[in-house]
Structure 1
Amino acid sequence: MDNFLISKFTAKGTNKTTNEDAIETVFVDDGLLCILCDGVGADYDPEVASRITVSAVKNLFDASNQSDYLERIKEVIFDANDFLIKYSQQKKDKNQMTTTLDILYLKDNFAYWGHLGDSRIYYLKGSTLRLLTKDHTLIQKLIEEGFLTLKQANNHPSSNIILKALGKENPEPDLSKMRLSNLENHRFFLCSDGVSSLINEIELQQILSEKDFDSIQNTIISLVRSRGAADDYSFILIEKVNNGWKENS
């Protein structure tokens, strides 16, 4: 089995009554499965949507016999989407429940991931940080189509509008994988927008490049809190290593 350092954290924002984020890490088929969800506050029961989605994804992934792990992630996302829709329809109010979803699976010399929403997966190789996911938001779409600049996008009133999320018909997740060199360590960072909206990529690259793995969590938490932590903030930090694994939570 591959060896990992794992650090994870979740907390409700200062303006929230409940934590609408949910996270999980678990070993499946001798690989590491990481799940992060951020319930969409514009819809109903976001804290329930994120929590039951994490549980459903974990169970569905573990129960699958699909040997192609990217296909397994795809199947799990569609099955979890059906589950969340049926769950919301069985409630008395039948109101839509949605959540962002990021799944990362690390096994052997590969990383596999699936993505819906505006939570993010980053990859640090050496001291270079790369964003593996693209935000499924109205703002990102307007930027790509040339209607907004990055500067104009900051603090835009429509910044909370998510175009893709689990719990909607035809979810259309982004799916990808990459080969990892077995001669070096690899760091991955999953986070909700409560982190990425307060820490820019230049800062994040510097923080994640710190040699002391244990101090990274404290640095991120302190920085988010110093900037108000209005939204729930959650993250999972993983390093694929060759000398054992430990977990901080």
Structure 2
Amino acid sequence: MISQFTSKGANKIINEDAIETLIVDDGLLCILCDGVGADSDPEVASRITVSAVKNLFDASDKTDYLERIKDTIIDANDFLVKYSHQKKDNNQMTTTLDILYLKDNFAYWGHIGDSRIYYLRGNTLRLLTKDHTLIQKLIEEGFLTLKQAINHPSSHILLKALGKDNPEPDLSKMRLNNFENHRFFLCSDGISSLIDDSELQQIISNKDFDSIQNNIISLVRSRGAIDDYSFILIEKVNNGWKENS
């Protein structure tokens, strides 16, 4: 089961997020990007990155899918940097990037930036990625508490993003058993900045995908939809995936 949605923020002119899901090598490839608004043409950065990732991953013949994701991210980064240099203004273009690939009994993912990948097993939601932000670094080093980090003025500062030198993505994989269904949730920070993990867990635990989508959209909008907001929700079952919306 797959549900996906993207929308510009309430006061935004252009949606700087981009998402894509497609079948590659009989597995499901999910891509989510959030163009960095402080840099040049963020909406272009996210869209061409999704397109580049899709084509690069599909064209690769590597059967080590974590290595394929790593190579795809490195090559997509090179492409985005070169594209930036060819523009008239020569200004840097950057975007977050999350790639999730589900095939057979494994999940593989690559991550850079502050978009997120969550995993729901049973009724327990787990964050699989770590935000590459100044705030996260300050929390880890003990300079900020989680409470102090909420609405911090530096929350938008990214330490890593695609489009910079040496992207150094986080990469990981895990085995999925055959006895349970497995849900994954990818989202941009337009959602994670407005809905906390405990709320997400309650929402995503709902069995009905339409209700999940409607609840997320309603909650984001009721809280101002400050930024563009996008998500991909997948439930992996033994017979694969079924498109929901």
User: TM-score band, normalised by the shorter chain?
Assistant: over 0.9
Report how far residue 185 of structure 1 moved. Answer: 0.2
* d(CA) in 2 for partners of 1:241, 1:89: 44
Q: Corresponding residue for 1:139?
A: 135
2:173 pairs, out of 164, 177, 190, with 177
The 8 Å contact of residues 209 and 244 in structure 2, kept in 1 or not, is answered as no
Q: Which residue of 1 aligns with 2:50?
A: 54
Aligned to 2:164: 168
Q: Equivalent residue of 1:207, what SS?
A: helix
SS for the counterpart of 1:134 is: coil
2:33 aligned residue: 37
Whole-angstrom distance in 2 between the partners of 1:243 and 1:104: 18
Alpha-carbon offset, residue 243 of structure 1 = 4.8
1:15-74 Cα distance to aligned partner (Å, 9 max, x none):
211000000000000000000000000100000000000000000000001110000000
Q: Residue 27 in 1 paired to residue 27 in 2? A: no
- Displacement after TM superposition at 1:140 (Å): 0.2
- Paired residues for 1:95-106 under 5 Å: 95-106=91-102
* Contact 2:27–2:101 (CA under 8 A) maintained in structure 1: yes
Alignment of 1:9-20 (within 5 A): 9-20=5-16
Say what the alpha-carbon RMSD is for the aligned residues.
0.8
User: What residue number does 2:84 align with?
Assistant: 88
Q: Where in structure 1 are there 5+ consecutive unaligned residues?
A: none
Number of residue equivalences: 245
Unmatched runs of 5 consecutive residues or more in structure 2: none
CA shift, 1:230, in A, is 1.1
Residue 194 of structure 2, aligned match among 189, 193, 198: 198
Aligned mates of 2:26, 2:242 — CA distance in 1: 15
TM-score, with normalisation over the residues of structure 1?
A: 0.97
User: How far apart, CA to CA, are the structure 2 residues paired with 1:230 and 1:242?
Assistant: 38
Displacement after TM superposition at 1:151 (Å): 0.7
Distance in 2 between the 1:142 and 1:219 partners?
Answer: 32
SS of corresponding position for 2:3: strand
Range that drifts further, 239-248 or 158-167: 239-248
Matching of residue 218 in structure 1 with residue 214 in structure 2: yes
Q: CA deviation at 1:242?
A: 2.9
Q: Identity across aligned pairs (percent)? A: 86
Cα distance in 1 for partners of 2:226, 2:125 equals 25
